[in-house]
Amino acid sequence: MVDALLELHGVSRAYRSAAGEVVVLKDVSLRIEAGEFIAIIGPSGSGKSTLMNILGCLDRPTEGSYRVHGAATEQMSPDELAHLRREHFGFIFQRYNLMENLSATENVALPAVYAGVEADARTTRARLLLETLGLGERTTNRPSQLSGGQQQRVSIARSLMNGGAIVLADEPTGALDHASGRQVMAELKRLHAQGHTVILVTHDAAIAAHASRVIEIADGQVVSDRGMDDPAVARSAAV
């Protein structure tokens, strides 16, 4: 069988606590193909962020295997994982996670510092990305001088700095008003149309309806995984 872009097989993630072991992700198997637009939905605490962190190689499974482009991640060193992360993934978080002491341009350029890109080339690309996201006039602003929606668009630009072939967005509209949230979704749809693989966590059915595949998580397990052509999903998303 041809390798999927991302492939989880029997993945579990457990935490040790004083009360014993807590399994927050249980035997998850998924194949994600290049160019998909996926929404991950489920109640708070169900394991969505844990799954996203594993997909983005920010965290590792305690059991099971995870392959990126056919490469098994289990045996990789922290450096190799960091390299894989930089090369393939862009991250968007609910709270933007921008550095307050850096300008918009510097925030966007940051992932390329670690990738070893030369300073002028970084700045040029960061400004271009900000322009594409409608922030050409805001390049020198600090995060505190930007609205929530603008900060999230800075973080989208940052996710693209090293290419961002796979964009992982964990509740990207969760902290935004309706209009700013719509703008962020429009950007994610544009990225998908350009060929990026987009994986989005949301608990908003209207947001999930933008995706072409919806994976539902409950209590650490995948309880449904359907294309949006499926009438059952289309109905619930229309509410």
Task: Number of residues interacting with Mg ion: please give it, by CB under 5 A.
Answer: 2
Nearest distance from C-beta of residue 120 to ligand ADP, angstroms? 39
132: CB partners within 8 A, 6+ apart: 157
Nearest distance from C-beta of residue 49 to ligand ADP, angstroms? 3
Task: Number of residues interacting with ligand ADP: please give it, by CB under 6 A.
Answer: 12
Report the interhelical angle of 78-88 vs 104-114 (nearest 10°).
130
Give the CA distances from residue 53 to residues 106, 190, 222, in Å, rounded to whole numbers and listed in that order: 24, 23, 16
| Complex with ligand ADP: residue 49 or 105, whichever CB lies closer | 49
212: CB partners within 8 A, 6+ apart: 36, 37, 38, 227, 228
Q: Which among 174, 180, 181, 185 is positioned nearest to 210, based on CA atoms?
A: 185
Nearest distance from C-beta of residue 49 to Mg ion, angstroms? 3
Contact status: 48 vs ligand ADP (CB under 6 A): yes
Q: How far apart are CA 100 and CA 185, in angstroms?
A: 24
Contact status: 218 vs ligand ADP (CB under 6 A): no
Burial classification of residue 45, based on how many CB atoms lie within 10 Å of its CB (0-12 exposed, 13-18 middle, 19 or more buried):
exposed
Contact status: 46 vs ligand ADP (CB under 6 A): yes
| Complex with ligand ADP: residue 44 or 194, whichever CB lies closer | 44
| Complex with Mg ion: residue 106 or 216, whichever CB lies closer | 216
Q: Give the interface segment with ligand ADP, choosing from 43-51, 79-87, 192-200, 231-239 (CB under 6 A).
A: 43-51
Kindly list the residues in this chain that would bind ligand ADP in the complex (CB under 6 A): 15, 17, 22, 24, 42, 44-50
Q: Which residues of the shown chain bind Mg ion in the complex (CB under 5 A)? A: 48-49
